[in-house]
Amino acid sequence: MQPADREKRNIEGKTPAMVFTETHEELVKEAEKWMKDTAKSYTIVASLVLTVVFAAAIVIPGGNNSDNGLPRFYIEKAYDVFVISDALALFSSTSCVLIFLSILTSRYAENDFLYGLPNRMIGGLLTLFISLVSMMIASSIAIYLVFGDKTAWTLILAAGLACLPVTFFASLQFSLLFDMVKSTYFPGLFRKRTDLILY
């Protein structure tokens, strides 16, 4: 359709935008259901991560020194990595929960599906991935802090095992994330110019 034809009306007196809205009404309902179901699932996962990293922030690995009340591993460099990764996991999982809650409470208007909802879903997936990676790093460091003095290979084993679920999650969700980024930010980059609809 040419841009000049946007306001023209057909025999029934409808503009192209009206016809588009009517013919895609069922698609909007399906997209709303999918978006809500997906956001609910990711909200549960992010809430679980939030619970775990909050507990890890309160219950310090190795406990406290009874003399001064400071954490036992306070002077270790690995403890700094633990604190940073746990804080990053805490803040990113909190952000993730809030992003997915904003998806659940969206009004799901037709125009929201163009940029608003995909942007939120992309942001939610990215913050969920960051929180999972940070949580696994914090868990690996906690294992190393508690058992690392006895066996040096514990860090290697813990880090290796921590990579498995993160890699598995990333491989399963990468296609969804890639498709959403491609269709939201680069709609004309991967298609021929003749395939684009000027609506």
At 7, list the tokens. Answer: 């306001």
Return the pLDDT at 16.
74
DSSP string, 66-78: TTT-SBTTTTSHH
Residue type, 86: D
Q: What is the dihedral of CA 77, 128, 106, 34, to 10 degrees?
A: -170
Residue 21: predicted pLDDT: 77
Ranges of the chain whose pLDDT falls below 70: 1-2, 5, 62-64, 66, 69-72, 74-75, 149-150, 152, 188-199
Angle between helices 77-104 and 25-58 (to 10 degrees): 150
Task: List pLDDT tens digits, range 29-65.
Answer: 898 999 999 999 999 999 999 999 999 888 877 666 7
Instruction: Say how far apart CA 119 and CA 162 lie, in whole Å.
Output: 29
Neighbours of 107 (CB within 10 A): 7
Q: What is the pTM of this model?
A: 0.78
Query: Of 132, 137, 123, 129, which Cα lies nearest the Cα of 180?
Result: 123
In the block, tokens 């409808």 appear at 14
Cα–Cα distance list, 41 to 47, 96, 144 (Å): 10, 12, 32
Distance CA 69, CA 63 (A): 9
Tokens of 193: 């110019």
What's the confidence (pLDDT) of residue 22? 81
**pLDDT at res. 199:** 47
pLDDT > 90 in the chain, percent: 33
Q: How far apart are CA 187 and CA 151, in angstroms?
A: 52
Helix, strand, or coil (residue 64): strand
Q: What is the CATH number of domain 13-59+72-195?
A: 1.20.140.140
